[in-house]
Amino acid sequence: MALQIVRSDITIMDVDAIVNPANPLPEYGAGIDAAVYKAAGVKDLLEARSKIGEVVPGQAFVTDGFKLPAKYIIHTVGAPWQGGALHEEDTLRACYRQVFKLALKRGVESLAIPLLGSGSYGFPKGIALRIALSEIYAFLGGADMSIFLVVFDKKSYLLSAELYGDIDAYISENYVEDTLEVEYGDDRRRGPRVRYEMAECCMAPARDYEEDADFEPCDEETMLAAEPEIGDKPRSLDEVVKNLDKTFMELVYMFADRRGLTDAEVQRRANIDRKAYSKLKCGTTKNPSKSTALALAVALELNIDETKDLLSRAGLALSPCSKGDLIVQYFIERGAYDIYQINVALFEHGEKLLGAGV
Count of Cβ atoms closer than 10 Å to residue 144 Cβ: 11
What is the model's pLDDT at position 172? 73
What is the model's pLDDT at position 159? 53
- Residues of the chain with pLDDT > 70: what percent? 75
25: nearest Cα among 58, 49, 59: 49
**What residues have CB less than 8 Å from 130, skipping those under 6 apart?**
none
Is residue 272 helix, strand or coil? strand
Query: How far apart (Å, rounded) are the C-alpha atoms in residues 79 and 117?
Result: 8
Sign of CA dihedral 143, 146, 152, 156: positive
111: nearest Cα among 67, 144, 153, 63: 144
**What DSSP designation does 316 have?**
-
What is the model's pLDDT at position 341? 86
Report pLDDT digits (tens) over 227-283: 444 444 555 555 554 556 788 999 999 999 999 999 999 999 999 988 888 888 887
- Of the listed ranges 34-43, 97-106, 233-242, the least confidently predicted one is 233-242
Residue 225, pLDDT above cutoff 60: no
Residue 204, pLDDT above cutoff 50: no
What is the model's pLDDT at position 141? 83
What is the model's pLDDT at position 200? 33
264: nearest Cα among 274, 254, 250: 274
- Of the residues 33, 273, 309, 325, only one is catalytic, namely 33
- Alpha helix locations (H) across 72-153? 88-105, 125-140
What pTM, to 2 d.p., does this model score? 0.72
Phi-psi region for residue 311, left (φ > 0), alpha (ψ -120 to 50) or beta? alpha
What is the model's pLDDT at position 316? 95
Name the band, by pLDDT with cuts 50, 70 and 90, for residue 329. very high
Structural domains present in the chain? 2-157 (3.40.220.10), 191-226 (no CATH), 227-348 (no CATH)
187 flagged as catalytic? no
128: nearest Cα among 177, 88, 173: 88
The order of strands in the sheet holding 60-64 is 2-7, 146-151, 110-114, 17-21, 72-76, 60-64
Is residue 122 helix, strand or coil? coil
- Tell me what the pLDDT averaged over the chain comes to: 80
Query: How far apart (Å, rounded) are the C-alpha atoms in residues 191 and 53?
Result: 65
For residues 155 and 201, the model is more confident at 155
- Of the listed ranges 128-137, 278-287, 317-326, 340-349, the least confidently predicted one is 278-287
- Highest mean pLDDT pick, 60-64, 126-130, 270-274: 60-64
